[in-house]
């Protein structure tokens, strides 16, 4: 590494840093935020997280979504790959299958993760795929393994599934993928939000924004009511899932990758509807929800409403009060609350 490279901050990155390996020309797949990783010249990030990719690009590095057409270009493959094992084992397995389908056989592969996050399970996963593996190092309650990519007879596209939303009215088919919120089922908070919307909102011809669209349940349901829907999410898997969900139900809608409002410039809507996330892996992170609420008035027309559902314990009332001056609770089942705030 160059002398000016910043020190690693994340435990898994500290484990990699102490390898004294030359990772230039490698791919960092599903990495965490870490200035050591983001230092220009230390490889390319492959991530479904738009905010992470934008941070890499702001630091002068290269970063792509796994859906980026550039990855299918003519440039040579990476010198190697580091896969940061995610909390979702199904998502980790998808990344392995995708790498085997995308890169040349024999490409060096390292897998790293926290012990409590299940990294040791990769031994069985790799064995099931016919890939060898050996342990390189462990420290900071993390482990590092190495292997090589090989040909695997499982199409990564098989990870895409569909399910019925289970609503009382007309069925809605939803697409799902590991790593998408509520993977394969309708979240209870979202169900409470949907039950609250008919008495709180007009739909026909209204421009509505589904913020944090996940599998597209809100976007599809709103479009079915006759709304003109835009849907955004920071996660590329969610964006693709929402596009597939709309198509599966023959519904129209605009779907964009966006870090909260980043892709929307100064656009305004008649309402913003959301079940905002508050976790980043295992840690609580109020950042996206705070931006959703705080910046909502700038993206609402006069009289427009922000309608969100949240766990009852989350400190959103104060944020709604600061952003809008007032709010009301539309529903409360003790686990979740549905809030509405109107731009005056």
Chain segment 316-332, per-residue pLDDT in tens: 999 999 999 999 999 99
Helix/strand/coil percentages in the chain, nearest 5: 30, 25, 40
Name the more confident of 166 and 147. 147
What pLDDT score was predicted for residue 2? 47
Residues of the domain holding 119: 11-156
Residue 45 lies in a domain: yes
User: What is the tens place of the pLDDT at every residue in 63-101?
Assistant: 999 998 877 654 678 999 999 999 899 999 999 999 999
Average pLDDT over residues 270-294: 79
Residue 127 lies in a domain: yes
User: What is the tens place of the pLDDT at every residue in 100-159?
Assistant: 999 999 999 999 999 998 898 999 999 999 999 999 999 999 999 999 999 999 999 999
Domain boundary among 122, 156, 190: 156
Judgement on whether residues 84 and 219 belong to the same structural domain of the protein:
no
Residue 2 lies in a domain: no
What CATH number corresponds to the domain at position 171? 3.40.50.150
Judgement on whether residues 173 and 263 belong to the same structural domain of the protein:
yes
Residue 107 lies in a domain: yes
Measured CA distances, 63 to 31, 70, 132, 143, 273 (Å):
11, 11, 28, 25, 30
Helix (H) or strand (E) holding 241: helix 236-248
The total number of residues shown for the chain amounts to 344
Residue 6 lies in a domain: no
Helix (H) or strand (E) holding 209: strand 207-211
Judgement on whether residues 141 and 173 belong to the same structural domain of the protein:
no
pLDDT band at 185 (very low <50, low <70, confident <90, very high): confident
Judgement on whether residues 136 and 173 belong to the same structural domain of the protein:
no
Q: What is the mean pLDDT of the chain?
A: 92
Average pLDDT over residues 174-191: 91
pLDDT band at 251 (very low <50, low <70, confident <90, very high): very high
Domain boundary among 102, 135, 156: 156
User: What is the tens place of the pLDDT at every residue in 23-61?
Assistant: 989 999 999 999 888 875 678 999 999 999 999 999 889
Judgement on whether residues 138 and 247 belong to the same structural domain of the protein:
no
Judgement on whether residues 224 and 132 belong to the same structural domain of the protein:
no
pLDDT band at 282 (very low <50, low <70, confident <90, very high): very low
What pLDDT score was predicted for residue 74? 44
Residue 5 lies in a domain: no
Average pLDDT over residues 245-249: 98
What pLDDT score was predicted for residue 82? 97
Question: Running DSSP on this structure, what letter comes out for residue 250?
Answer: T
Judgement on whether residues 209 and 337 belong to the same structural domain of the protein:
yes
Pairwise CA distance, residues 95 & 338, whole Å? 35
What pLDDT score was predicted for residue 6? 86
Q: Is the pLDDT score of 285 beyond 60?
A: no
Helix (H) or strand (E) holding 147: strand 142-148
Nearest partner of 201 among 62, 304, 316, 70, judged by Cα: 304
Q: What percent of the chain is predicted at pLDDT more than 90?
A: 79
Nearest partner of 27 among 60, 63, 67, 74, judged by Cα: 63
Give me the DSSP letters along 253-283: -EEEE-STTTTSTT--EEEEEE----EETTE
Judgement on whether residues 259 and 120 belong to the same structural domain of the protein:
no
What pLDDT score was predicted for residue 4? 67
Question: Running DSSP on this structure, what letter comes out for residue 325?
Answer: S
Give the pair of three-digit tokens for residue 344. Answer: 């005056």
Judgement on whether residues 169 and 120 belong to the same structural domain of the protein:
no
What pLDDT score was predicted for residue 1? 44
Asked whether the beta carbons of 141 and 41 are under 8 A apart, the reply is no
What pLDDT score was predicted for residue 224? 96
Judgement on whether residues 309 and 252 belong to the same structural domain of the protein:
yes
Pairwise CA distance, residues 303 & 301, whole Å? 6
The alpha carbon dihedral of 280, 325, 193, 209 has a sign of negative
Provide the number of structural domains found in the chain. 2
Average pLDDT over residues 210-227: 97
pTM tops 0.75, yes or no: yes
Phi, psi of 148 (to 5 degrees): -140, 145
Asked whether the beta carbons of 271 and 206 are under 8 A apart, the reply is yes
Judgement on whether residues 148 and 189 belong to the same structural domain of the protein:
no
Q: Is the pLDDT score of 221 beyond 80?
A: yes
Residue 90 lies in a domain: yes
What pLDDT score was predicted for residue 40? 58
Residue 4 lies in a domain: no
The pairing of strands 336-342 and 300-311 is antiparallel
Name the more confident of 12 and 72. 12
Q: Is the pLDDT score of 279 beyond 60?
A: no
Domain boundary among 156, 186, 201: 156
Q: Is the pLDDT score of 281 beyond 60?
A: no
Judgement on whether residues 17 and 136 belong to the same structural domain of the protein:
yes
Asked whether the beta carbons of 215 and 181 are under 8 A apart, the reply is yes
């Amino acid at each position: 590494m160059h002398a000016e490279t910043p020190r690693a901050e994340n435990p898994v990155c500290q484990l990699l840093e102490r390898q004294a390996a030359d990772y230039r020309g490698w791919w960092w797949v599903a990495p965490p935020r870490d200035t050591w990783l983001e230092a220009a010249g230390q490889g390319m990030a492959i991530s479904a997280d738009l905010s992470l990719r934008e941070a890499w690009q702001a630091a002068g590095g290269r970063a792509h979504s796994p859906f980026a057409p550039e990855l299918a270009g003519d440039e040579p493959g990476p010198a190697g790959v580091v896969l940061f094992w995610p909390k979702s084992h199904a998502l980790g397995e998808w990344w392995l299958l995708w790498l085997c389908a995308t890169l040349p056989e024999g490409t060096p592969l390292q897998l790293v993760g926290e012990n409590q996050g299940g990294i040791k399970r990769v031994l069985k996963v790799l064995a099931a795929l016919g890939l060898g593996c050996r342990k390189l190092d462990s420290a900071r309650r993390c482990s590092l393994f190495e292997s090589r990519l090989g040909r695997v007879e499982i199409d990564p596209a098989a990870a895409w599934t569909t399910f019925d939303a289970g609503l009382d009215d007309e069925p809605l088919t939803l697409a799902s993928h590991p790593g998408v919120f509520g993977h394969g089922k309708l979240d209870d908070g979202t169900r409470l939000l949907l039950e609250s919307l008919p008495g709180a909102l007009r739909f026909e011809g209204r421009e509505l924004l589904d913020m944090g669209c996940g599998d597209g349940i809100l976007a599809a349901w709103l479009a079915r009511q006759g709304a003109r829907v835009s849907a955004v999410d920071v996660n590329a898997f969610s964006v693709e899932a929402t596009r597939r969900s709309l198509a599966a139900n023959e519904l129209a809608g605009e779907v964009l990758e966006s870090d909260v409002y980043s892709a929307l410039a100064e656009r305004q809507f008649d309402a913003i509807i959301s079940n905002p996330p508050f976790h980043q892996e295992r840690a609580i992170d109020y950042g996206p929800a705070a931006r959703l609420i705080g910046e909502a008035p700038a993206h609402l027309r006069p009289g427009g409403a922000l309608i969100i559902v949240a766990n009852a314990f989350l400190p959103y009332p104060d944020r709604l009060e600061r952003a809008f001056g007032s709010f009301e609770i539309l529903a409360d089942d003790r686990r979740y609350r549905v809030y509405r705030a109107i731009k005056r």
